[in-house]
Amino acid sequence: VQLVESGVGLVQAGESLRLSCAASGDTEEIIEIGWYRQAPGNQRQLVARIGSGGSIDYADFVKGRFTISRDSASNTVYLQMKSLKPEDTAIYYCNADSSTERTWGRGTQVTVSS
């Protein structure tokens, strides 16, 4: 599986941004796909993910503000981010898990200015 993120953004607090992650390769093997983020000096943390059965998990710090969705026809996962805060500034990584491997995208920078 290969993952390519898009949606690099520099926005102001309160604005919105949508990230996209296009998956290719053995996409039928994907069990779970989602987004993580890593801010400078911090560990990478889960933002949101979708399981193959459609179950969705969100980190508490994005509930009510971010929405993850998946377009199976195009093998693309989206992260719609609203009411962005400066603390949302991070590199956002797309992630896909199969039964045998974990794949990461290269990451896309999101910067939220106050």
- Structure-block tokens of residue 84: 């962005």
Contact 47, 58 (CB under 8 A): yes
Strands 9-12 and 17-24: unpaired
- Using a pLDDT cut of 90, give the percent of the chain over it: 90
98-114 average pLDDT score = 95
Q: Please give the pLDDT value at position 76.
A: 96
Among residues 94, 101, 85, the alpha carbon closest in space to that of 20 is found at 94
- Structure-block tokens of residue 14: 């309160």
Q: Please give the pLDDT value at position 64.
A: 93
Three-class SS state of 8 = coil
19-30 average pLDDT score = 94
The predicted-structure confidence for 30-83, as pLDDT tens digits, reads as follows 999 999 999 999 999 999 999 988 899 999 999 999 999 999 899 999 999 999
pLDDT of residue 8 exceeding 80, the answer is no
Measured CA to CA in angstroms, residue 107 lies from 27, 65, 81, 99 at distances of 19, 21, 16, 22
